[in-house]
Amino acid sequence: MCNRRTVLRLSGVALTGGVAGCGGSSSDATEGGTETPTEMETGTPSAHTVEMTDSLNFEPETLTVSVGDTVDWVTTGAVAHSVTAYEEDLPDGAAYFASGEFDSESAARKSYPQGSVSTDETYSHTFETAGEFPYFCIPHESGMVGTVVVESG
């Protein structure tokens, strides 16, 4: 049955098509068919993704990017991870980075699992300094380490 009260309550929200057939008299629901075809291949030229997998590694383990590029770390499996820079090994003048936005490695370690990246979540960092950036995953540090190599210009 058509519940008028529910329909009214919903009508502030995006109700396209969902209640079609209820009242019938309002303007045609099937109107806006001007969706541009989604093109997966174009755009995002400097997007870099590192997958964090249930195999407990960073994929790829070493990634080369340019200054100004952003790297997205995505947890693709069921196990949560962290992206935590080795503070001592950062290039001179480079900003510290860690999932959870901690400003030091010790803070990140102390706070874990705060800052963890769970299934389908992403941590992103933009590299503004050239050099090599070794990092690790706090709960899987024994084997789960990676490096981002940032090239200038």
Q: Is 144 in the site for Cu ion (CB under 5 A)?
A: yes
- Indicate the residue among 54 and 151 with the shorter CB distance to Cu ion: 54
| List 129, 140, 145, 149, residue binding Cu ion (CB under 5 A) | 140
DSSP 75-135: E-SSS-B--EE-GGGSPTTPPP-BTT--SSHHHHHHHTTTT-B-TT-EEEEE--S-EEEEE
The residue among 65 and 115 lying less far from Cu ion, judged by its C-beta, is 115
Tokens of 13: 């929200």
**Does 125 participate in binding Cu ion (rule CB under 5 A)?**
no
Q: Which amino acid is at 135?
A: Y
- To Cu ion, the closest distance from the beta carbon of 76 in angstroms equals 12
The answer to whether residue 81 forms part of the interface with Cu ion (CB under 5 A) is yes
